[in-house]
Amino acid sequence: MPEGDTVHRAARRLNTALAGRVVTRFDLRVSQAATADLRGETVHDVIARGKHLLHRIGDYTLHTHLRMEGEWHVYVDGARWRRPAYQARAIVAAERVEAVGFELGVVELLRTRDEEQAVGYLGPDPLGPDWNPDEAARRLAADTRAAHVALLDQRNVAGFGTVFVNEILFLRGVLPTRPMAEVDTAALVALGARTIRRNVEERKRTFTGDARPGQGMWVYGRERKPCRRCGTLIRMTHLGADPTKERLAFWCPVCQS
């Protein structure tokens, strides 16, 4: 599932492949930008902001978001694509290298000077160069909603998705429905930052320290399975800011009481 760690790894890979190169092919397969052509422009860099990817090319920024199914692939020397061509939404190529974005949830092209229109609403990113844990803790402390909902809100902290939120709340012993105003947000933020920074360096995401198949999660995806700490069966429900934005919430009723 693409969360902040996945997106930052993708940005590193794309930046290594494209930064400093001149664009030889530029193809956006979305109606609002289908005629855009940045051939001949130089790719300055590719960075991540939370779950968002930003290709800075010439005076423009290609802003994409993976959503649930999206992926960026890098191919060299005309290698065959690993996904069907009809799923491609963005193609940025340079000499001997081609980056292809498949099933991207968001594809938009804007001038780099207007980049903040797309990502300026995001909260501090624990994987970003300007990470500000005090500001992240302040934003969370001001949120009166359930901890699960508040921590998922990208306006508070950028990069935590459903997997990270469930696992972080378990590790801090916080019930998903507990009001965030009752939580030690500074400690929550510190743990979250350590967790996502560790995982961005790993090929396989793990929260337990055990990367073997089926062993990496404490609670996520483990409904009705015994808690790895106390043996109580893990529970699951849906939580969200409104019924259209509900996400899965997993918890141990003993360890997160």
Dump pLDDT digits (tens) for 173-228: 999 999 999 999 999 999 999 999 999 999 899 999 999 999 999 999 999 999 99
Cα angle value 256/151/46 (rounded, 5°): 135
What tens digit of pLDDT does each residue of 38-82 get? 999 999 999 999 999 999 999 999 999 999 899 999 999 889 999
Which residue is catalytic, options 3, 9, 124, 205? 3
Instruction: Tell how far CA 169 is from the center of its chain.
Output: 18
Q: Say how many C-beta atoms besides its own lie within 10 A of residue 201's C-beta.
A: 9
Residues 6+ apart with CB under 8 A from 85: none
Selected catalytic residue, list 12, 13, 235, 247: 247
* pLDDT tens, residue by residue, 226-242: 999 999 999 999 998 88
Q: Is residue 247 annotated as a catalytic residue, yes or no?
A: yes
Average pLDDT over residues 76-105: 96
Catalytic residue check, 135: no
Residue with tokens 């992240």: 136
Q: What is the DSSP letter of 89?
A: E
Of the pLDDT bands very low, low, confident and very high (cuts 50, 70, 90), residue 245 is confident
Of 1-5, 22-26, 119-123, 155-159, the least confident:
1-5
Relative orientation angle of helices 185-200 and 133-141, to the nearest 10 degrees: 130
Query: What is the predicted pLDDT for the residue at 77?
Result: 84
Q: Which of 49, 51, 139, 205 is catalytic?
A: 51
